[in-house]
């Protein structure tokens, strides 16, 4: 297991990788959009950024990145895989200015493991996004945008009584189903 805590500071990319079973990262901000933190996590990734965003690039090709609780206050959460799945097992929540969430499972699927995705604008992309039996739970206050390149998209919006604004939603080889 790996724990990196930059109390009052930032976790920045110096060119190395963070490898571990369970990885916990915390700091004011974790990586940047131009210099993501490169990880190889075989267990659960948990992050807390208290004054900015979290930017992760999972390098383990063909594996699955399991997201535990991820919070970003005043910034975005942006997670991408090189060639694998993303399992949403915890609350992935970005709040405040720039509180957008992007999950990009390049060559893989985004699956529901009991967690949810909360943000202003939420962008999800992968071969397939959720299933009819295990939808991706969201709470989107801005715009939801999805792209599934080899299957369907299945979303369950959790905001009670609220409205959901849909952006472009594309599914090649499957349905787009939002409830």
Confidence category of residue 162, pLDDT binned at 50, 70, 90: confident
Q: Report pTM.
A: 0.97
pLDDT of residue 173 exceeding 80, the answer is yes
- List the beta strands (DSSP E) in 96-152: 101-105, 110-112, 116-119, 122-126, 136-140, 143-148
CB 51 within 8 A of CB 29: yes
Burial class (CB in 10 A: 0-12, 13-18, 19+), 7: exposed
Q: What is the pLDDT of residue 178?
A: 95
- List the beta strands (DSSP E) in 7-126: 17-20, 23-27, 37-41, 44-49, 54-58, 64-73, 77-81, 85-88, 91-95, 101-105, 110-112, 116-119, 122-126
Confidence category of residue 103, pLDDT binned at 50, 70, 90: very high
pLDDT of residue 61 exceeding 80, the answer is no
Confidence category of residue 145, pLDDT binned at 50, 70, 90: very high
pLDDT of residue 160 exceeding 80, the answer is no
Q: Which of 138, 147, 47 is nearest to 100 (CA)?
A: 138
On average, the pLDDT of the chain sits at 95
pLDDT digits (tens, 9 = 90+) for 7-36: 999 999 999 999 999 999 999 999 999 999
Q: What is the pLDDT of residue 60?
A: 78
Q: Which of 93, 94, 98, 67 is nearest to 80 (CA)?
A: 67
């Amino acid at each position: 297991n790996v724990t990196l805590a930059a109390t009052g500071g930032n976790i920045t990319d110096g060119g190395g990788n963070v490898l571990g079973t369970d990885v916990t990262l915390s700091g004011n901000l974790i990586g940047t959009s131009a210099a993501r933190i490169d990880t190889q996590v075989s267990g659960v990734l948990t992050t807390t950024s208290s004054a900015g965003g979290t930017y992760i690039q999972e390098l383990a090709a063909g594996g699955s990145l399991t997201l535990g609780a991820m919070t970003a206050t005043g910034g975005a959460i942006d997670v991408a895989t090189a060639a694998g799945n993303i399992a949403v097992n915890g609350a992935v929540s970005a709040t405040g200015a720039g509180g957008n969430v992007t999950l990009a499972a390049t060559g893989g699927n985004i699956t529901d493991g009991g967690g949810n995705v909360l943000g202003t604008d939420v962008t999800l992309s992968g071969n397939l996004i959720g299933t009819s039996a295990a939808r991706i739970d969201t709470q989107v206050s801005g715009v939801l945008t999805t792209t599934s390149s080899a299957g369907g998209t299945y979303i369950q919006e959790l905001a009670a009584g609220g409205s959901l604004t849909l952006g472009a939603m594309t599914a090649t080889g499957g349905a787009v189903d939002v409830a």
